[in-house]
Amino acid sequence: MLCNAKDRRLILILDNIRSRENVGSIFRSADAFGVGKIYLCGITPIPPHDKISKSALGADEFVPWEYAKRTVDIVKRLKKNGIKIIALEQSRKSINLIELDQMGDVALVVGNEVEGVGSGILKLSDRIIEIPMHGKKESLNVSVATGIALYAITNKK
């Protein structure tokens, strides 16, 4: 479960993602950035599935993953084991992802395409980060946002 680039654990938690294509794309980004494990929670679709595999280009076959019914159970377990929880969400408490300090072992939580990361998970998070938006739209596709956040996290000095 080590992030190859930084010799630390990097975990992804998918909180009720709806789209199989988004899940597949996130698997592909997880492989690219050395994510050690993905937790697929709630309604998040799980492999094997053709739509996941197609957008993952097979990364769903070798990036470790685990299903959990409740995201909160995974977050609490990881926190108990010393993993810092970073939620990717726009909120009053969020900071620009560029301002995020290097935190050691981390789990990035990304949320539902419509509702975002659940409020209970946000309360448990050690940090909430957001990607600054400069256009008219106020959000990105969850798989795109996940890739950007993983890039930022893995490139912290």
Task: Find the CATH number of the domain harbouring 103.
Answer: 3.40.1280.10
Among residues 9, 59, 16, 21, the alpha carbon closest in space to that of 39 is found at 16
> Whole-angstrom Cα distance, residue 138 to residue 24?
23
Domain membership of residue 143 as a residue range: 2-154
> Residue 58 contacts by C-beta under 8 Å, 6 or more apart in sequence?
none
Residue 85's pLDDT band (cuts 50, 70, 90): very high
Cis peptide before 47, with omega less than 30 degrees from 0?
Answer: no
Domain count, the chain: 1
Q: Considering only CA atoms, which of 35, 38, 49, 32 is closest in space to residue 14?
A: 38
pLDDT in tens, 87-122: 999 999 999 999 998 879 999 999 999 999 999 999
